[in-house]
Amino acid sequence: MSSTEYGSLILDVLVGVGVLLIGAGVFIAGLALARALARLAVTLDALDQQLENVGAPATNTLGHVNEAAKSLGDTAASVSQTVDLTKSALVPAIVNFGAAVGGVSAGLRRFVTGKDRNNKE
């Protein structure tokens, strides 16, 4: 073998060792990633369990809140209806009271001034 053949052989061996080291590095990185993902899976499983424990009481509480909101809406509708009924009952009474006050003031004016409305004295 000549020196050029040894150089080519050495270059091939060094490239092969380099590729082997890169492969080993990727393998080690893959193992580290697998361990990290395994820990993440355990953490997510624990989180799922905690959410299951919270889910039923939260659903129950939201049901109560929904019922309270519906009750509040029914109460508001009832109050609105009561206000409408009160308004429809009071408006004619206020109009009648205003007419009565107008009549009394006209009567007092005639009594005090001594003039009749139709009589232009």
Whether the predicted pLDDT of 119 surpasses 70: no
Whether the predicted pLDDT of 120 surpasses 60: no
- Per the listing, tokens 């009561």 go with 82
Q: How confident is the model at residue 118 (pLDDT cuts 50, 70, 90)?
A: low
The pTM of this model reads: 0.43
Query: From CA 73, how far away is CA 75, in angstroms rounded?
Result: 5
Q: Residue 121: which residues within 8 A CB-CB, separation 6 or more?
A: 115
Q: Residue 117 in contact with residue 106, Cβ under 8 Å?
A: yes
Q: Residue 68: which residues within 8 A CB-CB, separation 6 or more?
A: none
Q: Residue 110 in contact with residue 116, Cβ under 8 Å?
A: yes
Q: How confident is the model at residue 55 (pLDDT cuts 50, 70, 90)?
A: confident
Query: pLDDT over 70 for what percent of the chain?
Result: 93
Mean pLDDT, the chain, rounded, equals: 86
pLDDT tens-digit series, residues 60-94: 888 888 888 888 888 988 988 898 888 888 888 88
